[in-house]
Amino acid sequence: MFALVAASCGNDDDSDTSGDAPATAAATEAPAAATEEPAAPVESRSINVAIVGNPQMEDIASLTPSLFTAETGIEVNYTFLEEQTLREIVTRDVGAGGEQFDVVMIGMFEAPQFGANGWLYDLNGFAVDAPEWNGDDIIHAVRGGLSYEGGLYAAPFYAESSFVMYRQDVIDAAGLTMPAAPTWDELADIARTIDSDEMAGICLRGKPGWGDLGAAFTTVLNTFGGTWWLANADGSIGEAQVDQPEFREALEFYVALINDAGQDDAANASFNECLSLYQNGQVAMWYDATVAAGILEADNSPVKGLNGFALAPTKVTDASGWLWAWALAIPQNASDPSTAWEYVSWATSEEYINAAGESLDGGWAAVPPGTRESTYANPNYQAAAQAFAQKTLDAMLAAPIDNPGTTPRPGLPGVQYVGVPEFQDVGTRCTEQFSAAIAGSISVDSALSACQDIASEVSN
């Protein structure tokens, strides 16, 4: 964890000097003017913001001083955290009524649950007085995933599904063809064929965490016909299903694919690690979040123009890509909610997206995707993101959030997670076992047995 203060710098002396000069001149020419009271100083405001540590958030931190602080005088103190750490700290702090952060980055798992618990402000209350924010422009599925009973509890910074990113040149050189909508068996065959000592066939998440390894693996589990728990008639958690054949088949497949054709040290890899490996030419394919496409096709990307994109692989079901948004929320105990909203509404606005497109080194391809219909109607974005923009929307629209597998699940809708509070702990503890199986320190049988016991602890 590290903190970055995003604020305007080096302007105080200049501002004071420019403010004093007219008064001095007026005093020389007309002494009476010297009796006028000086203008009141602009009130200094600051907020503390907890966000996930990834390239999109590093971008907004770099642009905040010039695009936001210079205009508003509001200093933004960013705390960057790894995904799993962010989730743990935010859940603990917000749930306990802490006052550590004025704005927190959460996702579709947390927003409806935190909203139902009364932990967050309903942003509709702020948005009604901010028509320029244009909440109607937010893609419907994304807004719905961040809402509870009509209340909007987080504003999306970027949204995503998951799909396959691959080096088109490598696939072509091997004489292979990537289907537009591959099955997992087809993808595994390609990965094993192109895997070499110099370039791994595929990169998959292996790092423990319900939103790290847990996210990628659960999409595999869904399409293999498995599930974490049955749902009781009232929607509560029923019998654990980890010991079922479909769950075993999914985990055995995932572990074997990584061991046969995956990246080195896979048990410690998640989004950022796979991104680095792919950009450095060390992996030929990558199954992960669609937001990565904009990074790979950015103007400053070493692999720009070399990439192809395909829908998330399937097995039994017709669709398997996840649906997620990293979004900004205001805790009920925020010290200055109106200032927090001023930041949130800017960071999630069409104005920010347009400014980012003109300011980022990566250009328009690197702007936050998946949130606003206006982004996909913007000619600048259409030109820069031609390789992946429509495929990202197709993946998001195909994400089976209301019916993610073959068996009804407990809790609120979700694809790569189960929408119950207990999944945070169960998913993290079980993926610790799965990651150990990937690393070869325990068997898949041991991982499944341990996870069945863990999941059964919360069954009703």
CB 243 within 8 A of CB 430: no
pLDDT at 24 over 50: no
Domain at 2-7+44-160+324-381, CATH class: alpha beta
pLDDT at 44: 74
The stretch 374-390 carries a mean pLDDT of: 97
Asked if CATH classification 3.20.20.70 holds for the domain at 162-322+393-456, the reply, yes or no, is no
- E strand or H helix that includes residue 42: none
- E strand or H helix that includes residue 201: none
pLDDT at 405: 94
Sequence spans of domains, the chain: 2-7+44-160+324-381, 162-322+393-456
CB 361 within 8 A of CB 349: no
The stretch 46-67 carries a mean pLDDT of: 97
| Residue ranges in 99-197 assigned as alpha helix (H) | 110-116, 124-127, 140-145, 168-173, 184-194
pLDDT at 43: 64
pLDDT classification of 111: cutoffs 50, 70, 90: very high
pLDDT classification of 329: cutoffs 50, 70, 90: very high
Higher pLDDT, 186 or 7: 186
Q: Do domains 2-7+44-160+324-381 and 162-322+393-456 have the same CATH topology?
A: yes
Mean per-residue pLDDT of the chain = 92
CB 83 within 8 A of CB 212: yes
pLDDT classification of 40: cutoffs 50, 70, 90: very low
- Distance (Å, rounded) from C-alpha 96 to C-alpha 94? 5
* pLDDT tens-digit readout, 156-186: 999 999 999 999 999 999 999 999 999 999 9
Burial class (CB in 10 A: 0-12, 13-18, 19+), 322: buried
Q: Is the pTM of this model over 0.85?
A: yes
